[in-house]
Chain A
Amino acid sequence: MTDEIEIHEVELGETIDGFHVQECIHESQVSTLYRVSHPEHDVPLIMKVPKISVILPSSVFAGFETEMRILAKLRGVYTPRIFGKGDLASAPYYVMEYVAGTELQDAVKRGPLPVDTICQLMVPVCKAIHEMHRHNIIHLDLKPDNIRNRTDGHVVLLDFGTAHQSQLPDMYTVAHERQPITMDYVAPEQLFAVRTDSRSDIYAIGAILYELATGRAPFPGANMLTVKKRLYISPKPPCAINPEIPPWLQEVILKCLEIRPADRFPTAKEIAYCLAHPNMVRLTERARITRRPGPVAILKNWLSNREFNFVGQTETQPQNRLGTAPHILIAVKLVHSSEELKCSMRDAIMKIAMAEKHSYFTCLSILPKESFTSRDSVEDFVNLSHPKHIQTQAELRHWLEPMKLAKSRLNIQVFYGDPAGEVVNYANQFAVDHIIMCAHRSEGAKKTVGSVPTRVIAEAPCSVTIVRSRQDKINKEQ
């Protein structure tokens, strides 16, 4: 039968497995955090110790173990790095890096914030959440308190005690529900104990965006009694609280906060993309509403959602959902490309566009520093008003026109700088799924940009396809 757990009472001043326990910095109903040090680790460390007692359900311990295993699996890129762990049967604890930055927590208190600040804060948060979903992990308790940042600004997600990993046993039980979860960020389906839908985390992103944009929660003062209102009442439109909010941001926020998961963004990376490229947000009725739906709409919502089966909707693993709307980066330099190569490139893009109906494309052209004369104004370039910039954008648009891609699927960007570096940076920042780029033919081009594909292949975080024109190859051999 299940093993009896002997609790090791951690005491200040003692040393456990080389970790010196210095001070207790936080105590909750379910665990205690201690500041610790270790002679071999020159970073601030904290030790988390679960509380195990007869009055607490044993599932609290399962939550501790879930968190420990998830942190070990994620290996500390967007989560605290783990430095040690004790035997679960005799001395349950783990030691992780102390992540001090509370940028988002502080920002929420200062809300409403300017749009630029909101985007700056939330693009990396969405990226971190997307990476977590890539590992089939659903957090289910995202809130500003659980999102911190390292000194280099890197976002770190905390508190995986109620998280779900879709490929692993889920030890969550009814007893867990007694743990305090902040109602402000809970998605409607979570009220039905649904734990398998990554779009519950999308709802939480929407709630955080709402708070940053308006200075208040979408459903202020929600508690166990009032929380069910969100099953049929939409939040007050953000622009009704803060008229400075542009329609595109209201569209993004309200899409995240849709009652039914299928109506929300499928992935966090798409939210990051919208926040960084507002012109790509497809505006709907959500962007235009200025007040909450009236009693008739509420009644309609109540009637339809009363019958809606939230529980039966969610068997897709997060990782599978991530692949349904791939973000494709087209890295191109038209000036060095022959007509044949341009056609081959378009063919390759069209094949993906047709096969992946929900794919969306960023066409990126990088103008190298060499093409910039001393007479040009850097400021014009940065402000996207330099004639070369405008000309390049026009050429790209013209080249892409025959593909007839919907406006919401294609974004054209012209940057200035190191071509390979900018392509890789963009792919990292916006969780690009696939890069398509040309192989150039001219020797001149090889000298200046020929090494770009090689570097992109080496450094890109995703698959890279290099398109070559067969005719170019024949011409070269002749």
Chain B
Amino acid sequence: MKIAIISDLHSNIEALQACLDKARALNVEQYVCLGDIVGYGPDPAAILELVTSLPNVVVIRGNHEEALFGAYYKGLRQHIQQTIDWTKQQLSEAQLNYLQALPYQQNVQGMTMVHATADRPEKWGYLYNIELARKCMSASDTKLIFVGHTHQPQVFYETPSKEIKCLTPQAGVKIPVYQQGRYVINVGSVGQPRDDNNAASFVVYDTDERELLFCRVAYEYAVTAKKIVDRGLPALFAERLAKGH
């Protein structure tokens, strides 16, 4: 069975649609969304509708969903707060209720799905090095942990001798999930990549072949960028779509 894991969509419906086309072509049967569906981008209501319509979809809470409701909002910079306020106005009450009920973490077919890290997920820590990957693995009892949040695709894996190594995945190269290894897989960002590559990023995991496929999909970011500016959202969020960082 093929599962697509998407994260950090950030209201970028053009990027998501391009990713879904690719996922369908790969015969994906289930979707997991690791959160941050909203924030930064111009289409929060439409993208949430699209996400919830995906087959067998499991959705996890991201920090941008948390910011719609909790104290987390207060710690954000002003221009991000401005986007959160605008996003809240675009969503229906039912949609807000749906987002408020999202879990921090969920087990899907024996795999941990979490937005930032399995190590105290509600703290929204950034997992960017081997030590943090070790803490994440220690906090979970599954072989595979899928995360997002940093917007940078990465694979941390533990060898049989408990050494943790890091791999920067290449798009289109299938990465085997070894019987004897444990993995923390950062799937990158659909709607706002930050690894100097402006193509949308997501992962397809083939549970039969036990292989991860990192996908990069080019999309018309200029359309999204124009919408951001037209809707009065900070221009910075439009500019970074082209740069990919």
A421 interfacial by beta-carbon distance below 8 Å: no
Let me know if B69 is at the binding interface, CB within 8 A: no
Q: A88: CB under 8 A from chain B?
A: yes
Task: Please tell me if the beta carbons of B143 and A62 are within 8 angstroms of each other in the complex.
Answer: no
Residue in A closest to B166 when the chains form the complex, CB atoms: A169
Q: Is A57 an interface residue (CB 8 A)?
A: yes
Contact, CB under 8 Å: B161 / A69: no
Closest chain-A Cβ to B87's Cβ sits at a distance in Å of 38
Interface locus among B2-10, B172-180, B191-199:
B172-180
| Per-residue interface assignment for chain B, residues 210 to 226, with 1 indicating a CB less than 8 Å from any chain A CB and 0 otherwise | 00000000000000000
Closest B residue, CB atoms, query A73: B174
* Inter-chain contact A169/B160, CB cutoff 8 Å: no
Q: State in angstroms the CA–CA spacing of A170 and B183 once bound together.
A: 12
Interface flag for B165 (CB, 8 Å): yes
Which residues of the partner chain A approach B161 to less than 8 Å between Cβ atoms? 57, 59, 173-175
B155 at the interface (CB under 8 A from A): yes
Please state if A57 and B179 are interface contacts (CB–CB under 8 Å): no
Interface size class of B (residues with CB under 8 A): 20 to 34
**Residue B29 at the A interface, CB < 8 A?**
no
A70, closest chain B residue (CB): B176
Contact A175 B160 (CB under 8 A): yes
Q: A169 touching B179 by the CB < 8 A rule? A: no
Contact, CB under 8 Å: B159 / A173: yes
Residue from A65, A66, A171, A172 having most chain B Cβ neighbours under 10 A = A171
Q: A167 within 8 Å of B by Cβ?
A: yes
B159 touches which of A3, A167, A172 (Cβ 8 Å): A172
- A65 and B179 within 8 A (CB): yes
A169, B155: Cβ atoms closer than 8 Å: yes
Query: A174 vs B179: C-alpha distance in the bound complex, in angstroms?
Result: 18
Find chain A residues with CB under 8 A from B143 CB: 1-3
| Cα distance A285–B166 in the bound complex, in angstroms | 42
* Cβ contact within 8 Å between A2 and B157: no
Tell me whether chain A's interface is mostly helix, strand or loop, or mixed.
Answer: loop
Within 8 A of B (CB), among A81-97: 88-89, 92
Q: Which residues of A contact B131 (CB under 8 A)?
A: none
Indicate if the CB atoms of A171 and B173 lie closer than 8 Å. no
Judged by DSSP, the binding face of B is loop
Chain B residues within an 8 Å CB radius of A66 = 178
A451 touches B (CB below 8 Å): no
> Is the CB of B141 closer than 8 A to any CB of chain A?
yes
Q: Which residue of A lies closest to B141 (CB)?
A: A1
B170 sits at the interface (CB 8 A): yes
Question: Contact between A58 and B160 (Cβ–Cβ < 8 Å)?
Answer: yes
A65 touching B180, Cβ below 8 Å: yes
Q: Do the beta carbons of B160 and A62 come within 8 Å of each other? A: yes
Answer yes or no: B181 CB below 8 A from chain A CBs: yes
Q: Does B182 sit at the interface, judged by CB under 8 A?
A: yes
Give, as a whole number of angstroms, the nearest-CB distance from A88 to chain B.
5
B167 contacts partner chain A, Cβ-Cβ < 8 Å: yes
Chain B nearest CB: distance from A128 CB in Å?
A: 22
Interface membership of A361, Cβ < 8 A: no
Q: Assess whether B230 is interfacial by the CB under 8 Å rule.
A: no
Instruction: Note all chain B residues with C-beta closer than 8 A to A59.
Output: 159-161, 180
Task: Check B21 for interface membership: any CB of A closer than 8 A.
Answer: no
Point out the residues of chain A lying under 8 angstroms from B159, CB to CB.
59, 62, 170-173
Closest beta carbon of chain A to B237's beta carbon, Å = 33
Q: Looking across the interface, which residue of chain A has its beta carbon closest to that of B168?
A: A167
Q: Do A89 and B179 contact each other (CB < 8 Å), given the known contacts A2-B143, A173-B160?
A: yes
A177–B190 alpha-carbon span in the complex (Å): 41
A172: B residues at CB distance < 8 A: 159
A262 sits at the interface (CB 8 A): no
Residues in B neighbouring A167, C-beta threshold 8 A = 167, 170, 173, 175
Contact A173 B178 (CB under 8 A): no
Query: At the interface, yes or no: B93 with Cβ under 8 Å from chain A?
Result: no
Chain A residues with Cβ below 8 Å from B165 are: 169-170
- A66's nearest neighbour on chain B, judged by CB, is B178
Neighbour of B160 across the interface among A57, A89, A92, CB < 8 A: A57
Chain B nearest CB, measured from A180 CB (Å): 18
The residue from A2, A5, A89, A169 contacting B167, defined by CB atoms under 8 A apart: A169
Provide the residues of chain A in CB contact with B179, threshold 8 Å.
Answer: 2-3, 5, 61-62, 65, 88-89, 92
**Min CB gap A68→B, angstroms:** 9
Minimal Cβ-Cβ distance residue in A for B183: A169
Interface centre among B155, B165, B178 (most CB of A within 10 A): B178
Assess the B178–A171 pair: CB atoms within 8 A: yes
Query: Would you call B49 an interface residue if the criterion is a C-beta within 8 Å of the partner chain's C-beta atoms?
Result: no
Interfacial chain A residues near B183, Cβ < 8 Å: 169
B170 and A62 within 8 A (CB): no
Most chain B beta carbons < 10 A, residue from A1, A61, A65, A168: A168
CA distance A2 to B183 in the complex (A): 10
A169-B155, A169-B167, A175-B161 known; A58 vs B180 contact (CB < 8 Å)? yes
The answer on a CB contact under 8 Å between B175 and A171 is no
CB A232 to nearest CB in B, in angstroms, measures 30
**When each residue 121-143 of chain B gets 1 if its CB lies under 8 Å from chain A and 0 otherwise, what string results?**
00000000000000000000111
- Chain B nearest CB: distance from A82 CB in Å? 14
CB distance from B180 to the nearest CB of A (A): 5
Cα A2 to Cα B159 with chains together (Å): 11
Rounded to whole angstroms, the CA-CA distance of A92 and B210 in the bound complex is 15
Question: In whole angstroms, what is the CA distance A92 to B178 when docked?
Answer: 13
The contact sample of 11 A-B pairs, CB cut-off 8 A, is A2-B143, A3-B179, A58-B180, A59-B161, A62-B178, A89-B179, A169-B183, A173-B159, A173-B160, A175-B160, A175-B161
Residues of A within 8 A of B (CB): 1-3, 5, 57-59, 61-62, 65-66, 69, 88-89, 92, 167-175
Apart from A58-B180, A168-B175, list 16 A-B contacts with CB within 8 A: A2-B179, A59-B161, A61-B180, A62-B179, A65-B176, A65-B178, A92-B179, A167-B167, A167-B175, A168-B176, A169-B157, A169-B165, A169-B167, A169-B181, A173-B160, A174-B161
